[in-house]
Chain A
């Protein structure tokens, strides 16, 4: 059970949060201009990294804010959390 440092509320138990998949996948501004393949790339293709992964999380049972997290999936260590719209620490 992780201890997650919500960028708004501080350290909370993982049970207050829900995970939202890979971060930094922007919804295309003009979906109609995209080919099926390009759209499928946005819609379905997600990385599943062993190691450093950028993820979206939501403080569902707290402030309801979404934020990003850098997590090492091999040992569950959380390297950073940062607000939506902020630049990832290293990428």
Chain B
């Protein structure tokens, strides 16, 4: 390992700052500016993982996000470790720990590799076909399959890192900071547009940044030098935001895009703490310019997956940018001119190039001639037909191609090498364009899909738009940008560009071999381990649609979404099936472009901010008095107030008894409150409630039931007539927003002629509810000058009052069946009012009670809770509340539905009471009700909706919905549970005080 694989390269790598890191437990060194991949290669480590299915040794193959093989586990910490990261995208930092994933016990000796020898037995869809049956064996199979198919380890503890989200609005977003993107950014910024340029690398410039070649010059400078000066000029624009290390993850409709910015991933381990790790940018751009470039394609031939086989452009980047030699004796295999650029770069850096194998007959472009001049051997009209070397390539086999390209002919030449660069041409990165709904077109001449039509304000420029020659890239990018932005930037008008032009093109999707197809391993999808043979097998088995072939063979379904494999899969399908590629279509590229961490997706919506919490004005008192809280929608409501060692049951029994024996107090501030004003307010209420409102006297309250248009109960509550044209409506806690929105809907759309205004005042008022036989005495202490006599202040009426000069409204209404008052006062004084009532009630043992006791007390009285005893399928008739349906009103919401054939059925599920034969037995809410258990199948007749042990009745009570329940009163039913059958009797829904005597007690 003493080979010196690093050459001096001062441009991008800081060779003065050495960084130590660990790979599979071994300490290694790299430099600042390295990626994990370049550092591993500099340490002569190629073998980094085992393939998914056959456990074949695999090495680093690319230098970017398309990497299929170098998928590593980063970090060792049980909360911070991250699986499936691409070594080619990880910037090296001090303290980095990485390990191979898909191997056991180690990457060098992997037991699963035995699959490779059995590989003829593991064709496409092997798992689907083999482990289908017996069906109940799957659990067993799955355990072993999952264990041997290593997909990395998930962290086992919560992520300690911080993530953030940001919205960003701009005029122009440019995705990709290569030469096209930089020119576009400058053009936009110069024309005073609010511009954002993002790039996934740590430095702008794309591949041109290290293109120092005689064949590519702009204004007599190397193209990299020209571009560097352009990049420098970008700093002068205040209206241009540049974000590097930022990957565009998703491009949605209406130019809404998501980009992930890496903020600390490149920092030394000790510097990462307490900083935001990643930020997800939610970008809304008026215009989008995609300049994402192109990816090099591999070539598909036998054993094209050995460690040491790279995309040829990656070898170029490793030597030119990172100063790392991927090998000492490098061979190149190509169907186009770009491998020749690699040959020149290697030659310039003193790395010997064995030969270039080119499938084309012969070509004379500028760059090819230059390579010939350097004395590098070129095998024309030839193909690599096989490679050798188990953990690292050591030899390639070359043969001539037949004229039609379908066979390997002639003598086989063996060429020793330690690295092979392959280039199958270029694929424009159209992923974002298609994500956004854009349609592609196919260009036959070089087999590429290109952006065609889009509904959005966007363009693609540069090589992602199919321009691969430097002069065309510059010319077309500038023209398209100017036209798109409706500006005229002539900075780039008279550039003198020298560019080698590719003259000849040839493409063979699946290269021939001297062996029959079944005996070869031409890999297509390296990450999911599927070969060209798998595709052919799928076609033989009758799959035709590309989407089906993809799923059957899993080609393109790995974490890279087939960035490298899709084009070849399509090509082979088209060829085999005899259709044109353009007609075949493509599979769908879905967001994200590269995988996102869960952290980036959830951002700050964790812990305290996982969900919104709403608090009442009296919340602090409940906390101080040790209430347990219940979530009701977003509200935190006091559930019960345990004393010393009480459990919930004991606390609720005590609270319930106190409320009926003397006095209880409840925080009812969460109830929805809607202020209704307008000359048609009464008419409006007539239309939204089932009962009549016109005759309600001023100062009186009335209970109302609201239906949906389908006749089903929607919400309920008490509404008070404050004055002639002024009402205060209350709704259920959970229904508040929906009721307001529904009523607004009717007012704005169906009844715009009504003069009615609705204003939510839910948060303006705190509501303190005092109930029990002593409530009157307590209230008289709180508001001494208010006449509380039944005559002056009867049940279902309201009074304006003052407490300490603060206005309040007192309603005498009851949800417990007790004599009861509700004080509505400005929220700022809610807590103080509550405390005043507690003080005044001390001598009567006033007991604060929570939602659980409230539910129990109302159940004793048979009052429903909309949403608990109803579920959107109950009419008022089903609830035995026929009395609340006005017979006189011509219309109200839901009226017509109450006599549809289905709603008038007598055997609908209806609300009933249930008493258990054993009064100590408490039913479970949700439990099913049946009439007999012997005859199968057992008919489910209904279910329990509310169930409690009533301390006031000293027995268990329940409400339930039961088929034909009204007629079953007095009948025996059975509630079957897991371990027993509970016998119950159907009863009336009111269990306590049927005569309502307590209301005026």
User: Residues on A close to B: CB < 8 A?
Assistant: 1-3, 13, 18, 20, 26-28, 30-32, 34, 36, 39-40, 43, 56, 58, 60, 64-66, 75-77, 84-85
Contact = CB atoms under 8 A, between A and B. Distances in A.
Contacts, number: 58
B741 A58 contact: yes
A26 B890 CA distance: 18
B451 to A, nearest CB: 16
30 contacts: A1-B253, A1-B254, A2-B253, A13-B284, A20-B745, A28-B896, A30-B891, A31-B896, A32-B891, A32-B896, A34-B896, A39-B896, A40-B900, A43-B709, A43-B710, A56-B749, A58-B741, A58-B744, A58-B745, A60-B741, A64-B741, A64-B744, A65-B748, A66-B749, A75-B437, A76-B253, A76-B254, A76-B437, A77-B455, A84-B748
Contact of A66 (B284, B437, B745): B745
A56 B896 CA distance: 23
A89 B894 CA distance: 32
Contacts of B750: 26-27
Given A1-B256, A32-B891, A84-B752, 19 more contacts: A1-B252, A1-B253, A2-B253, A3-B255, A3-B256, A3-B284, A27-B709, A27-B750, A31-B891, A36-B900, A39-B897, A43-B709, A43-B710, A66-B745, A75-B253, A75-B437, A75-B455, A76-B253, A85-B752
A19 to B, nearest CB: 12
Q: Which of B749, B750, B897 has the most CB of A within 10 A?
A: B749
Contacts of A20: 745
A36 B901 contact: yes
Contacts of A36: 900-901
Contacts of A30: 891
Nearest to A85: B752
B55 interface: no
Interface in B231-258: 252-256
Contact of A43 (B256, B284, B897): B897
A24 B709 CA distance: 16
A32 B894 CA distance: 11
Most buried by A among B253, B284, B891, B896: B896
A2 B254 CA distance: 6
Contacts of A31: 891, 895-896
Interface string B432-466: 00000100000000000000000100000000000
Interface residues of B, number: 24
Contact of B900 (A39, A56, A64, A65): A39
Contacts of B890: 32
Contacts of B437: 75-76
Contacts of A56: 749
Contacts of B901: 36
A49 B678 CA distance: 39
Nearest to B901: A36
A85 B751 CA distance: 11
Interface in B691-731: 709-710
A26 B252 CA distance: 34
Contacts of B752: 84-85
A77 B436 CA distance: 12
Interface in B870-929: 890-891, 895-897, 900-901
Nearest 6 A/B pairs, CB to CB: A31-B896, A3-B254, A1-B256, A66-B748, A76-B253, A27-B750
A81 B767 CA distance: 41
Contacts of B255: 3
Nearest to B747: A66
B966 to A, nearest CB: 23
Nearest to B454: A75
A18 B896 CA distance: 27
A75 B750 CA distance: 30
A84 B744 CA distance: 12
Contacts of A28: 896
A30 to B, nearest CB: 8
Interface in B748-783: 748-750, 752
A26 B749 CA distance: 9
A65 B752 CA distance: 12
A1 B167 CA distance: 13
Interface in B359-410: none
B744 A66 contact: yes
Nearest to B167: A13
Contacts of A34: 896
Contacts of A27: 709, 750
Contacts of B284: 3, 13
B97 to A, nearest CB: 38
A21 B255 CA distance: 24
Give the one of A18, A26, A34, A75 with max B CB within 10 A: A75
A64 B901 CA distance: 36
B472 to A, nearest CB: 31
A66 B256 CA distance: 24
A75 B439 CA distance: 11
Nearest to A23: B749
A27 to B, nearest CB: 5
A12 B437 CA distance: 21
A36 B904 CA distance: 12
A85 B890 CA distance: 25
| Most chain B CB within a 10 A radius of its CB, from A3, A31, A75 | A31
A41 B961 CA distance: 29
A66 B750 CA distance: 11
B624 to A, nearest CB: 34
A65 B941 CA distance: 44
A67 B169 CA distance: 25
A36 B899 CA distance: 8
A76 B256 CA distance: 13
Interface in B246-293: 252-256, 284
A11 to B, nearest CB: 9
Nearest to A72: B455
Contacts of B741: 18, 58, 60, 64
A77 B254 CA distance: 8
A20 B953 CA distance: 47
A30 B891 CA distance: 8
Nearest to B284: A3
